[in-house]
Structure 1
Amino acid sequence: MNKTILDALKKIEEDYNVKILYACESGSRAWGFPSKDSDYDVRFIYVHPTNYYLSIDPVGVGKKRDVIELPINDLLDVSGWELTKALKLFRKSNPPLLEWLRSNIVYYEAFSTIDRMKTLSEVTFIPSSCLYHYLNMANKNFREFLQGEQVKIKKYFYVLRPVFAAKWIEQYNEFPPLEFHTLLERIVPNGPLKTEIETLLKRKIAGDELELEPKVSMINTFLTEELIMLEAYAKSVSFHIPDPTPQLDQLFRNTLEEVWGFSK
């Protein structure tokens, strides 16, 4: 599969005249709970030649799109963000982007941009921004998928993981790990609840997630209580950092010089 993914990335570079700086796995494979039939969610960051940016129309306006998305098939979901889009989201401590940078499945990396972004992320992290992201995701999925008497196993993990991530931020004031098992080990003490979650995790990974079955009251109660507490906590905190724009502007210029040279 790695070769298939690398071939797709190479074709993107040729078809769109861009350079890919970084490509990784996102979603359930990066989170540590893929099913047997999970597809590959490949995400990447790319940069155009220098002259592309030297025009009166900024990237992201009109025909100058700031994303590249390949048609999704049963096996591959491939999409990427242009560098200035990525850096503007990075400035806001965008959690999906921060997850990409921390993915433990990296398909491709070139040049120094990503290493520099990782270093900057240590001083640009905004806990409140990430906290609200995970809390909103958890609330939405909880309302949409886990309110009936019959639920799908898979849906529990799309609520549990953002709840654990939000609790990690509350407890450690740092961006949470991607891996579900790491979050579970640190967030949930040993006992019946952890055992129940671990049992469901084994079933999901084994592919036992398609049929509806009675909801797990213990987990639903835990999620209800945690969401209430996290909502209260989120309202009580605020966090501000110095504007990192000058550093990100320089990072962008350095990338153009490193990748293309200013003469191109």
Structure 2
Amino acid sequence: MNETIQNKLIEIEEKFQVKVLYAVESGSRAWGFPSKDSDYDVRFIYIHQLQWYLSIDPQGIGPKRDVIEVPINDLLDISGWEITKALRLFRKSNPPLLEWMRSNIIYFQQYSFIDKLRLLESDVFYPNASLYHYLNMAKNNYREYLQGTEVKIKKYFYVLRPVLACKWIEEYQTVPPISFHELVQTMVPEGELKNEIEHLLKRKITGDELDIEPRIEVINDFLENEIIRLEAYIKTLSIEAEDPTNDLDNLFRNTLKEVWG
């Protein structure tokens, strides 16, 4: 599959006349809890040639789309963001982008862009944005999948992970790790809750069918209490971040020169 993904990225460069700067796996494979039938979620950042930017029409409007999306099949989902779109989202501490930067499954990386972007992360990171993102994800998934006496058991991971990410941000005021295992080991104390989560994780990774089963009370209780607590915590925050636009403008211009001369 790695070779297939590499070839697809080369095709994208040729078809759209761009350069891919960085491409990674996202989703369950990157988070550390893939199922036997999990597809590959490839995400990338790319840059157009100089003349694409020197235009009276702004990027992201009409024919100048700032995303590239390849038709999805049963095994591969691949899409990318144009560099200025990525930088604007980085300025807002966009959690999916920050997760891409932490993925340990890197399919492609060239030029200095992503390394320089990582150097700016600590100055740009805005905890409020990530907290709201992860808490809303947890609330929506919990409400949709986990409130009955019998639940879609695999959906626990899609509520546990954002809740634990919120707890990490609250504790450390930094971007949470992408690894679900690391979040569990760091943020969940030893005891029944941790044992149940780890047992569920082993079942998922080994390919057990995790469909409709009785709800796991210790996990539900934890999630309900944490969602309520985190909602109250977020309301107390008033963190402000300095405007990084000048640094991000310079990174964009320097990358444009590095890639295209």
Judge same fold: TM > 0.5, yes or no.
Answer: yes
- Deviation sequence 1:46-90 (CA, Å, 0-9, x none): 000000000011110111101001111111100000000000000
CA contact (8 A) 1:59 1:66 kept: yes
Following the alignment from structure 1 to structure 2, what is the Cα–Cα distance between the partners of residues 128 and 141?
20
State the partner residue of 2:10: 10
DSSP-derived class of the 2:235 partner: helix
Q: Secondary structure of the equivalent of 1:236?
A: coil
Aligned residue identity for 1:35: S
Match of 1:39 in 2: 39
Shift of 1:210: 4.4
- Where does residue 184 of structure 2 map in the other structure? 184
Distance 2:45 2:128 in 1: 25
Correspondence for 1:222: 222
Distance in 2 separating the partners of 1:170 and 1:39: 32
Cα-to-partner distance string for 1:153-208 (whole Å, 9 max, x where unaligned): 21000000000000000011111000001000111111011001111111111222
Does 2:132 correspond to 1:129?
Answer: no
Give the letter aligned to residue 50 of structure 2: T
Q: For residues 102-146 of structure 1, what are the alpha-carbon distances to aligned partners after superposition, in whole Å with 9 as ceiling and x for unaligned?
A: 111101000001101000011100011111110011001000111
Aligned-partner Cα distance in 2 for 1:211–1:13:
40
Cα shift at 1:148? 1.5
Give the Å deviation of 1:242: 1.3
1:211 and 1:178 map into 2 onto residues whose CA distance is: 25
Paired residues of 1:152 and 1:209 also in contact (CA < 8 A):
no
Sequence identity (%): 66
Q: Quick check: 1:153–1:209 contact (8 Å CA) kept in 2? A: no
How far is 1:217 from its partner? Answer: 1.1
Secondary structure of the equivalent of 1:64? coil
- 2:18·2:49 contact (CA, 8 Å) conserved in 1? yes
Deviation by residue 1:214-253 (Cα, 9 ceiling, x = unmatched): 1111111110000011111111012111110011111110
Distance in 1 (alpha carbons) for counterparts of 2:123 and 2:198:
34
Match runs of 1:44-123 below 5 Å:
44-123=44-123
Q: Contact 1:86/1:97 (CA < 8 Å) preserved in 2? A: yes
Look up the match of 1:203.
Answer: 203
Contact 1:18 1:48 (C-alpha < 8 Å) held by counterparts: yes
The CA deviation at 1:2 is 0.8
| Counterpart residue type for residue 221 of structure 2 | T
Matches of 1:109 and 1:165 in 2, distance apart? 26
Separation (CA, whole Å) in 2 of partners of 1:210 and 1:181: 18
Output the CA distance in 1 between the equivalents of 2:218 and 2:174: 28
Worse overlay, 181-190 or 209-218: 209-218
Measure the CA separation in 2 of the matches of 1:209 and 1:84.
41
Cα distance in 2 for residues equivalent to 1:216 and 1:209: 16
Note the C-alpha offset of 1:147.
1.1
1:166 aligned residue: 166
Structure 2 gaps of 5+ residues are: none
Q: How much is the aligned-residue C-alpha RMSD, in angstroms?
A: 0.8
CA distance in structure 2 between the aligned counterparts of 1:181 and 1:106, rounded to whole angstroms:
19
Letter in 1 for 2:161: R
Unaligned runs of 5+ in 1: none
